[in-house]
Amino acid sequence: MSVDAKQLGARAEAMIAVLAPISAEPKRLVRLFLSREHRRAADLTTSWMRESGMQVTEDALGTLRGHWGEGKRLLIGSHLDAVVDGGNYDGPLGVIAGILAVEHFHKIGKRLPFSIDVLAFGDEEGSRFPATLSSSAACAGAFEKETLALKDRNGVSFNDALKIYGKNPAEIPAAAYKRGDALGYVEVHIEQGPLLEAENEPLGVVTGIVGQSRWRVTVTGEAGHAGTVPMTLRRDALAGAAAMMMMVERVAKANATNNMVATVGRIEAMPGATNIIPATATFTIDLRTMSDDIRHKAIATIQHEARGIAEMRKLDVVFEPFHEAMATVCDAKLQETLAAAISGLGHRPIKLPSGAGHDAQMMAKLCPSVMMFVRCRGGVSHNPAEYASPADMGLAVAALIGFIERFK
Ligand SMILES: [Zn+2]
């Protein structure tokens, strides 16, 4: 039976439409980890998995595991949770693509030399607790016990939320796959960026997930009267911080070939009055790129240049790191397999890094992993306007089927 991408796209679109209204609020999408909406989304997904020929179990973190076939396992997954007021495609598309691919093989009675587990994770976005990727961490055997003590906005601990959901936190270690039993992991996800649209291609092969450094920078000068202190005698912390921000942008632009991006997303000036020269300015830097080495070098350059700016303006500057994530490189062989599947559909497989975090970066700790990106309109995500066309989603499922056929 040949693969009808158009029909698969229509199916994916219809399934996403059924999942979309499962929200804690009627007017915007709120689907948090271990909530009643998580339960409803999981129950619906379980029924789809069963209809597609899978046996479904649920692990200690509420991750669904739809199993089909015999032998060691190829894992296909993504997540059912969403950011508050997010869109309908980020996460569910990957779960649905897995289900539709398995359904294809099940319907034609094909036997594969390996089995497939479709995984529907519940905590990718970290929208409820101050932790992300806890579901895939448990599957990869990388769950950190400290996570259980974290509390949500209402003071409910991760541990208690699991119990309320009917889970036993003591069983979390059992959620981990045995090394060697998991042959590989593949995740289909909307791109969340504009590159595929710019390339006029529906599908991309993800080369890796960028590493990330986040820093808090505090610049200290001296407060003074906005009317009486001459410009030459000022130690204006905010003006110094502004010069540093322009420098951060320059460093990132100079590393364009490394796909480096740097963002100053928060700034605060004290005392924060119209007629007082700012005494302190605090801002954040979020810097991402595929190479950990290049990222660390860029951070060193930024610190060096910031000290130069501070010295010139008679200011103090202090850097404090508050988040550090290593880059994850997607498996080279699986990238080639995925590229071949996309080429097989008559499309150009665009290679691109992921600037956002994904479950694949956890699963890469367990087994060779790769991701396929699907073009999304305007590169928009984490927004109700998020959209992927049925045609592109159909091609994604067809490419996933082609990937499974080629997988060794
Ligand atoms: Zn996602």
Which tokens hold the place of 367?
A: 């087994």
- Cα distance between residue 106 and residue 204, in whole Å: 26
Please state, for a pLDDT cut of 70, what percent of the chain lies above it. 100
- Cα distance between residue 27 and residue 37, in whole Å: 14
pLDDT reported for residue 1: 55
Domains of the chain and any CATH numbers = 5-209+327-406 (3.40.630.10), 211-325 (3.30.70.360)
Ion ligand 1: protein residues whose beta carbon lies under 5 Å: 90-91
pLDDT reported for residue 67: 98
Helix or strand or coil: residue 55? strand
pLDDT reported for residue 322: 87
How many CB atoms are closer than 10 A to CB 68? Answer: 22
- Compute the distance from residue 93 Cα to the ligand 1 centre, in Å: 9
- H/E element holding 328? strand 328-329
- Compute the distance from residue 189 Cα to the ligand 1 centre, in Å: 7
pLDDT reported for residue 198: 97
- Compute the distance from residue 89 Cα to the ligand 1 centre, in Å: 8
- Compute the distance from residue 389 Cα to the ligand 1 centre, in Å: 17
pLDDT tier at 323, thresholds 50, 70, 90: confident
What predicted TM-score, i.e. pTM, was given to this entire model?
0.89
Task: Read off the pLDDT of residues 179-217 as tens digits, 9 standing for 90 and up.
Answer: 999 999 999 999 999 999 999 999 999 999 999 999 999
Which tokens hold the place of 235?
A: 């130690």
pLDDT reported for residue 186: 98
- Compute the distance from residue 29 Cα to the ligand 1 centre, in Å: 14
- Cα distance between residue 372 and residue 358, in whole Å: 12
Task: Read off the pLDDT of residues 47-95 as tens digits, 9 standing for 90 and up.
Answer: 999 999 999 999 999 999 999 999 999 999 999 999 999 999 999 999 9
- Compute the distance from residue 68 Cα to the ligand 1 centre, in Å: 24
- Cα distance between residue 160 and residue 330, in whole Å: 35
- Cα distance between residue 62 and residue 342, in whole Å: 32
CA dihedral for 267, 268, 272, 276, sign (positive or negative): negative
Task: Read off the pLDDT of residues 247-275 as tens digits, 9 standing for 90 and up.
Answer: 999 999 999 988 899 999 999 999 999 99
pLDDT reported for residue 318: 98
Task: Read off the pLDDT of residues 86-111 as tens digits, 9 standing for 90 and up.
Answer: 999 999 999 999 999 999 999 999 99
Helix or strand or coil: residue 346? coil
- Compute the distance from residue 321 Cα to the ligand 1 centre, in Å: 25
Helix or strand or coil: residue 246? helix
Q: Please enumerate, as own/partner, the contacts of 106-113 that have beta carbons within 8 Å and a separation of 24 or more.
A: 106/52, 106/53, 106/54, 106/68, 107/1, 108/1, 111/69, 112/69, 112/71, 112/404, 113/71
